[in-house]
A = this chain, B = another copy of it.
Amino acid sequence: MPSKQPVAIVFDTFGSVVDWRSSLIADLSGYAASRGVTADWAALVDAWRAAYHPSMDRVRKGELPWTRLDDLHRASLNRLVSDFGIQGLSEDDLVHINLGWHRLHPWPDALPGLTRLKSRFIIGPLSNGNVSLLLNMAKFAGIPWDMIFGSDLFGHFKPDPETYLGVARLLDLRPDQVMMAAAHNSDLAAARSCGLLTAFFPRPAEYGPHQKRDYAADQDWDIVATDIQDMASKLGV
């Protein structure tokens, strides 16, 4: 067990808690089939995710005013539907598809692991998703969060320090009483630079055949686990 125990643990969500790639490919393929619309949905999902960081970076650099992730997703989707030459989607279809990010399924260890952690710690997502996205996802998937730390609470996306330090401020805790848990080393590096504790577990299938990094911890994070169940064990719950 690590020497320092957190009071609260916040989790990166997309990729760390939920499997966005398999969920979206299945969700979109099924929906499109029911609407008689064909496309390479796996390729579209990969391209959609590839647009995620560049779109947030435009906000982080001040090129765009604060914009919720739902709206960044929708702008990217509009462009990709055009780029992919997809025909026959109505506005209602596009709204439904964009809300696919609210209907993501957890990795198998996530719900049992989080349920164990919730028994001793405050748990919540600290995600670039907006509150409504994360809350709808929690209701859809049964994720037992205590509190939803959406990026719209802070008006900032990770890795801006306002997000990590904003959690500590809202919880009235010191940064070293909050642990950031993620499958992404870069997220943990930013959290550590703000004084948070850190926990890593890999998700080697997050990007399917396109995974390029984050197979292992690249720093001596406070906890290095195989998944969220193992993380709970390493925290003694």
Q: A70-B172, A132-B170, A132-B172 are in contact. Are A146 and B139 (CB under 8 A)?
A: yes
Alpha-carbon separation in the docked complex, A139 to B138 (Å): 18
What's the minimum C-beta distance from A98 to chain B, rounded to whole angstroms?
12
Q: A70-B172, A172-B130 are in contact. Are A146 and B153 (CB under 8 A)?
A: no
Give per-residue flags for A138-150: 1 if the beta carbon is below 8 A from chain B beta carbons, else 0.
1100000111101
Chain B residues with CB below 8 A from A122, complex form = 135, 139
> Is the beta-carbon distance between A131 and B170 smaller than 8 angstroms?
yes
Chain B residues with CB below 8 A from A153, complex form = 153, 170
Alpha-carbon separation in the docked complex, A130 to B145 (Å): 18
What's the minimum C-beta distance from A193 to chain B, rounded to whole angstroms?
24
Chain B residues with CB below 8 A from A146, complex form = 135, 138-139, 145, 148
Chain B residues with CB below 8 A from A139, complex form = 122, 146
Alpha-carbon separation in the docked complex, A154 to B232 (Å): 33
Q: Which residue of B lies closest to A152 (CB)?
A: B170
Give per-residue flags for A141-184: 1 if the beta carbon is below 8 A from chain B beta carbons, else 0.
00001111010110000000000000000111100000000000
Chain B residues with CB below 8 A from A147, complex form = 131, 135, 147-148
Alpha-carbon separation in the docked complex, A10 to B135 (Å): 14
What's the minimum C-beta distance from A75 to chain B, rounded to whole angstroms?
16
| New contact pairs (19) apart from A147-B147, A150-B170, CB-CB < 8 Å | A68-B172, A70-B172, A122-B135, A122-B139, A130-B170, A130-B172, A131-B147, A131-B170, A131-B171, A132-B170, A132-B172, A135-B146, A135-B147, A135-B171, A139-B146, A147-B148, A148-B148, A152-B170, A153-B170
